[in-house]
Amino acid sequence: MQHYIPFPNISPEIFSITVGGFTFALRWYALAYITGLLIGWRIVLGLVKTPRLWPGHTAPMTPLQVENLLTWVILGVVLGGRLGFVLFYEPAYYFSHPWEIPMVWHGGMSFHGGLLGVLTAGYLFCRRQGIPMLSAADAMAVATPPGLMLGRIANFINGELWGRPTTMPWGVAFPGAAAQDCPGVVGICARHPSQLYEAGMEGVLLGLLLLWLAWRSGALRAPGRLLGVFLTGYGIARFVVEFFRQADAEFITASDPMGNVIQFGHLGGFSMGQVLSLPMIALGLFFLFRARRAD
């Protein structure tokens, strides 16, 4: 007898209203972004209001600077996440439909692109404000996992980014394409709830580790250490979960200026998520080594 968990059919929209012929909807994914950013903002405020945690018992930012940084982070997340998805996952489609690139409400955000966007926005903000960049990056690293957890839960509610087929009793019978694209499976196609695996590893476990290191171990007094923990921890978690997540297309296709089709193969058969996680792990280990040498 096959055991599986039926997909909880929760609407992607929390509510919608129609005004003057235009419909406005609040989706779980948008709420996850908003709530994650607000929680992250409160975490950073708590850190900068506790001088004993920082080098020389001096916080790198004021509460007002943290509020201003939030605006830059929002822009970095949205612009970086969207452009990352366009360039890393669907370049051929969006290069031929460029007017759809700004349509973020149709879905399609990349964490790795969002991370690059946040790092760029944070660098520019810190440079303008004269804020120690590594200390600011440490604070943002501690603040990021709650948003990751909520975002992955929203992915689960939306029934997207599902996992590979499984016979495990906790497999979930996702609807739509997840149920149809299941070759070799007779009966109900249950899949790994890889979104929840990621929520647990990237959000809960990594978040608790970073909070403990920040508040209990004095890690913030070694600039770059928590940034290194975050990059390494997320990279490893994502790399592992990708073995259970439905793989991206084997090749990414794009066209050169002459119209010739170019195919970029994944490294060694790894998924795109794994390929993008490898430099994160390497960069994280670099910052950990750098912080250790500075002790």
Torsional class of 130: left (φ above 0), alpha (ψ -120 to 50), beta (otherwise): left
pLDDT at 251 (0 to 100): 43
Question: How many whole angstroms separate alpha carbon 69 and alpha carbon 74?
Answer: 9
- Distance between terminal CA atoms of the chain? 58
Per-residue pLDDT at 253: 47
Residue numbers belonging to the annotated binding site: 152
pLDDT tens digits for range 220-233: 999 999 999 999 99
- Residues 212 and 208: their CA atoms lie apart, in Å, by 6
Residues of the chain below pLDDT 70:
1-2, 104-107, 183-184, 248-269, 294-295
Largest CA distance in the chain: 64
User: Hey, how many other C-beta atoms are within 10 angstroms of the C-beta on 32?
Assistant: 21
What is the spatial distance between Cα 235 and Cα 190, in angstroms, rounded to a whole number? 27
Q: Quick check: 82 and 100 in contact, CB under 8 A?
A: no
One-letter amino acid of 139 = A
Can you read off the two tokens belonging to residue 210? 């970073």
Task: Cite the beta strand spans of the chain per DSSP E.
Answer: 5-6, 13-19, 22-27, 172-173, 251-255, 261-265
CB atoms within 10 A of CB 217: 12
3-state DSSP assignment of residue 60: coil
